[in-house]
Amino acid sequence: MRSRSHDIAMAELYRSDPALAEEVINSILADGDPGELASVLRQLALLFEGMEGCDGIENA
């Protein structure tokens, strides 16, 4: 599992570059890696829930 600080950094990157987020998701879906998909979805959840409201997200 990646660290929380990595998840936050990736969430901020996806926020600043939505096209990158789309590219990453499409690539993961093409590869079929469920673990990697879960990681990216956790990172994207930070965008929708806010950074302060995600204390338990690393366990998702």
Q: What percentage of residues in the chain have a pLDDT greater than 70?
A: 75
Which of residues 36 and 52 earns the better pLDDT score? 36
User: Is the whole-model pTM more than 0.75?
Assistant: no
Could you read off the pLDDT of 11-34 as tens digits, one per residue? 999 999 999 999 999 999 999 899
**HEC states along the chain?**
CCCHHHHHHHHHHHHHCHHHHHHHHHHHHHHCCHHHHHHHHHHHHHHHHCCCCCCCHHHC
pLDDT of residue 52: 56
pLDDT above 50 for 60: no
Which of 3-7, 26-30, 35-39, 42-46 shows the lowest per-residue confidence on average (mean pLDDT)?
3-7
